[in-house]
Structure 1
Amino acid sequence: MPAQNQPRHRLIVALDVPTAAQALALADSLAPQVGFFKVGLQLFLDAGFAVCDALSKRGHKVMLDLKFHDIPQTVALATAQLANHDIALATVHGYPQVVAAAAKAKGRTKILAVTVLTSLGHEELAQSGFAGTLADLVVLRAETSLAAGADGIVCSPLETSLVRKALGTKAVIATPGIRPLDSARDDQTRTATPQAAIAAGADYIIVGRPITKAADPAAAARAIIDEIG
């Protein structure tokens, strides 16, 4: 099995903590089981690229999840900042102009387009005025994002199989909203187990609170790796 397809490399742990010190301590406690970590908005506002650099110097891969969404010029300039850092994956919102701007400036980083946030439910979708279903919107944004130059997409596990069928095997699919059977759903409305997400076609599963809030985070991570193995 190629290294990137091994279960431990398909788990991305979301370091959704307020400080770099907490994030790095958590990453150290999860190594060597976990080698891929997500830096989101909360952590980035505390530590900026310094925490990304510290993770990469430890030999970890980094997903920078800032979900860029602005005018194309601003998105291109922001994405260009990634070139000075070892960022494996970065997220933008799945609108064609945003994706195209990021794709042109991405360098070595792979750009993932966020289709529909996993906290969005059918009631909120109806309020937005979109006439189709959540799945329709996810597939539409996935297809238009790939056409605009994205390397892959972020979608909930409930739409992963549809997106994989629509996009084929080359597109990267990263799936948040992962909840082991014994975990609370928290503020996620579209969730699935780790095994179900991988079976549906996800390349990566993104897991935060079921690991980071566990009494034994390393044990929780190992259990998820075993489940997807």
Structure 2
Amino acid sequence: MRESRPVIALDFPSFEEAKEFLALFPAEEKLYVKVGMEIYYAVGPEVVRYLKSLGHSVFLDLKLHDIPNTVKSTMKILSNLGVDMTNVQAAGGVEMMQAAREGLGDKGILIAVTQLTSTSEEQMQECQNIQTSLQESVIHYAQKTAEAGLDGVVCSAQEAKLIKQATHEDFICLTPGIRPRGTEAGDQKRVVTPGQAYQIGSDYIVVGRPITQAADPVAAYHAIKEEWTQDWV
């Protein structure tokens, strides 16, 4: 089921900056936020506990990638934080992803990263030595993720439709690289607008700088949310 709220990437270097940003929103407005490596490594589990205490939904974006036993043990710890969604790297393999599922249990949505939206096909082929197309690589990782029993993948919206065809319609496609018209792509290579992401088949969209660095973050958030949901029935 699609999430109507854009997931806001809280990519701040300090807890205080994240708190100041969240304070701009009315207390009754419950957000869906992404906690990435930057703020998690700066603050630790406390940031997740704080966000949950405010009633926000949390996507913990740590992209775990290690031996299966380590990932399973880590997921057991993360399951106690009450996160709504977390992830691993699909490149870790089916066994590792299955171990992650066992560790997390039913305490949240578990997805896997296919190829980062900052990765171009040329970079993938040169640095990862994956000599297929970027699209083929993403779909292959998605199929392995489904085989492992995970709920979905992180991918570019450009690949969402094909991934659902290669897996199943309920397979979640969470898509970063969302940029409203007229904004810079930054370090993202494969970008789409919120409206395009809806049309293609994204289930969740992640938006960072177009909201967090906007002159009016609350207005920017609601504009993106409106574009994302305007065609929903």
Q: State the TM-score bracket (shorter-chain normalisation).
A: over 0.9
Structure 1 stretches of 5 or more lacking a match? none
Superposed counterparts of 1:117-128, under 5 Å? 117-127=116-126, 128=128
* Alignment match, 1:110: 109
Q: Post-superposition shift, 1:122?
A: 1.5
Displacement of 1:106 in angstroms is 0.7
Task: Find the counterpart in structure 2 of residue 29 from structure 1.
Answer: 24
SS of the aligned residue for 1:53 comes to helix
Q: Shift of residue 40 of structure 1?
A: 0.3
For 1:74-223, list aligned pairs within 5 A: 74-94=70-90, 95-107=93-105, 108-127=107-126, 128-223=128-223
TM-score by length of 1: 0.93
* Mapped partners of 1:119, 1:71: distance in 2: 25
CA distance in 2, matches of 1:6, 1:162: 20
Secondary structure, counterpart of 1:158 in structure 2: helix
Pick closer, same or farther for the CA change 1:204–1:34 going to 2, 3 Å.
farther
Q: Is the CA contact (8 Å cut-off) linking 1:12 and 1:34 kept in structure 2?
A: no
- How far apart, in 1, do the equivalents of 2:162 and 2:30 lie? 28
1:83 deviation in Å?
2.2
Q: Tell me if the contact between 2:2 and 2:204 (Cα under 8 Å) persists in the aligned partners.
A: no
Counterpart AA for 1:96: V
Question: What's the RMSD between the two structures over aligned residues?
Answer: 1.4
Structure 1 residue runs of 4+, over 2 Å off? 4-7, 30-34
Alpha-carbon contact 2:3-2:204 (below 8 Å) kept: no
Give 1:34 shift: 5.5
AA matched with 1:28: A
* CA drift at 1:47: 1.1
| Counterpart secondary structure, 2:16 | helix
Partner of 2:55: 59
Note if contact 1:178-1:207 (Cα within 8 Å) is conserved in structure 2. Answer: yes
Q: Kindly provide the amino acid, as one letter, of the partner of residue 17 in structure 1.
A: F
Q: Deviations over 1:37-69 (max 9, x none)?
A: 000000001111111111111110000000000
The 1:157/1:97 distance shift into structure 2, 3 A limit, reads same
User: What secondary structure sits across from 2:174 in the alignment?
Assistant: strand
Q: Deviations over 1:4-52 (max 9, x none)?
A: 7563x3x100000011121122123234556100000000011111111
- Aligned identity (percent) is 36
Equivalent pair of 1:34/1:221 in contact (CA under 8 Å) = no
1:91 and 1:18 mapped to 2: Cα distance? 21
1:14 maps to which of 1, 9, 12: 9
Q: For 2:19 and 2:88, how far apart are their aligned partners in 1?
A: 25
